[in-house]
Structure 1
């Protein structure tokens, strides 16, 4: 990864915005939506700044003060970039290209806007409201994660691409949704290129608790697994993979 994606909570916090014109106006609207308090370059409380006209001298002065800077159209002076955003409050999806192409990020945002239901945020709120009930239903953290994964999977009771998924949360809990995906699943990789992953392999990598893999499986494949999944190098599949869903990855 060229950058670590993060979501900054800016409500009520000072953010420097410099420059004038359409670019500055667009950044101002974005900061106002996030609840930021927009201030000038001399404000001592600010820790984040957007230099909307790409002024190199201003960007360098602010960075010298330890302020994180976004300098429009000047990637070399950017500590962070601003992504294209899909908003289904409280769900936010950020699309970044590391400054390579704002047009590409915009095109992807427009596609996602069409695909994602308008009521996706209602599902997030329903799951938040049911948090204690979900914990009570599945006290074990790993089992709870697998149950949620099963419910949210394509075709599941609370599939996020279903328009009324938020209204289905109570029924999903009442039904005592199956916790699927336990055991060891062998996955034969077509190549060392992550672009050759099948949809099934990509889905399993996103769900597995452990990833057992042959020594020649490259890191770019393992990076597609959940960040908290355990990676274990082995020359053959394990006899006892442990609880939950485990994968055995090997190259064809």
Structure 2
């Protein structure tokens, strides 16, 4: 990963936009959707979009400490603009680091066709239910496991359901607590991330902690959740802990 994806809150904030034509118009519409206050090169702002390919403009702005996006010039960009799937308040961004806007667009179109239009309503319903969720599961670990179970494929509030938002009260009223703790052994096919099975990739995205043999490479561990604990060990632990724990090893 060569850049860190972030979502900037731009409502009411100044953003420099230079250039004219179709590219500049497209960037203007995007900034307006985000609530930005569009200003010119001479104004004060922390970020800028240079839509006319003017190297001199880019140089002047960077000399002022402004972070710059130069349209179709990834070598000059401090940040790039992704293809966006908008299910407000859910945003899904697809970037290629400026390598191919066409590829990002193609991926966006395919992913967008899979997602329910009401996905944003589920996010809003979960936000509104925060107090009830905390009351239902006071322990943070149990709460996260319950949310994971509810949102899992086939779960009560599976995001792929059109009526998921309406089912949040049903999920809260369910009897029983979060999913039971599990410890799963995974024998990797190789040290290449492309060789991960769909099951292994899914479990890596869900696990609370990952125990792994010393020879498991970072490229595999990077596929896990960012907040999952990584624990190097010579053998699987006797007591892996609560939640979902994995043991990863390469074939002998």
User: Normalised by the size of structure 1, how large is the TM-score?
Assistant: 0.97
Q: How does 1:160-179 map to 2 (within 5 A)?
A: 160-176=159-175, 178-179=177-178
Structure 2, unpaired ranges of 5+: none
Query: Segments of 4+ in structure 1 off by > 2 A?
Result: none
> Residue 42 of structure 2 corresponds to which residue in structure 1?
42
> Residue 224 of structure 1 corresponds to which residue in structure 2?
223
Structure 2 residue 152 is matched with structure 1 residue 153: yes
The Cα shift of 1:77 comes to: 1.1
The Cα shift of 1:124 comes to: 0.3
> Residue 26 of structure 1 corresponds to which residue in structure 2?
26
> Residue 215 of structure 1 corresponds to which residue in structure 2?
214
Q: Secondary structure at the match of 2:75?
A: helix
Range moving further from structure 2, 229-238 or 179-188: 179-188
> Residue 9 of structure 1 corresponds to which residue in structure 2?
9
The Cα shift of 1:176 comes to: 3.6
Q: Distance in 2 between matches of 1:177 and 1:121?
A: 27
Q: Secondary structure at the match of 2:93?
A: strand
Q: Secondary structure at the match of 1:220?
A: helix
Size of the aligned set, in residue pairs, is: 251
* Cα 1:75/1:128, change in 2 over 3 Å: same
User: Normalised by the size of structure 2, how large is the TM-score?
Assistant: 0.97
What's the Cα RMSD here?
A: 1.0
Q: Distance in 2 between matches of 1:86 and 1:211?
A: 31
Structure 2 residue 165 is matched with structure 1 residue 143: no
Q: Distance in 1 between matches of 2:211 and 2:188?
A: 13
CA deviation vs aligned residue, 1:1-39 (integer Å, no higher than 9, x gap): 011000001100010000000000000000000000000
CA deviation vs aligned residue, 1:198-230 (integer Å, no higher than 9, x gap): 121111111111100001101010001111111
Q: Distance in 2 between matches of 1:188 and 1:120?
A: 35
The Cα shift of 1:183 comes to: 3.0
Question: Is the CA contact 1:150–1:178 (under 8 Å) kept in the aligned structure 2?
Answer: no
Q: Secondary structure at the match of 2:15?
A: strand
Structure 1, unpaired ranges of 5+: none
Q: Distance in 2 between matches of 1:141 and 1:54?
A: 49
CA deviation vs aligned residue, 1:29-60 (integer Å, no higher than 9, x gap): 0000000000000002x111000011111001
Question: Is the CA contact 1:151–1:177 (under 8 Å) kept in the aligned structure 2?
Answer: no
Question: Is the CA contact 1:217–1:249 (under 8 Å) kept in the aligned structure 2?
Answer: yes
The Cα shift of 1:171 comes to: 0.4
Q: Secondary structure at the match of 1:125?
A: helix
Range moving further from structure 2, 183-192 or 98-107: 183-192
Structure 2 residue 205 is matched with structure 1 residue 206: yes
Structure 2 residue 102 is matched with structure 1 residue 91: no
Q: Distance in 2 between matches of 1:146 and 1:176?
A: 15
CA deviation vs aligned residue, 1:149-170 (integer Å, no higher than 9, x gap): 0010011111101111110111
Question: Is the CA contact 1:151–1:158 (under 8 Å) kept in the aligned structure 2?
Answer: yes
* Cα 1:167/1:112, change in 2 over 3 Å: same
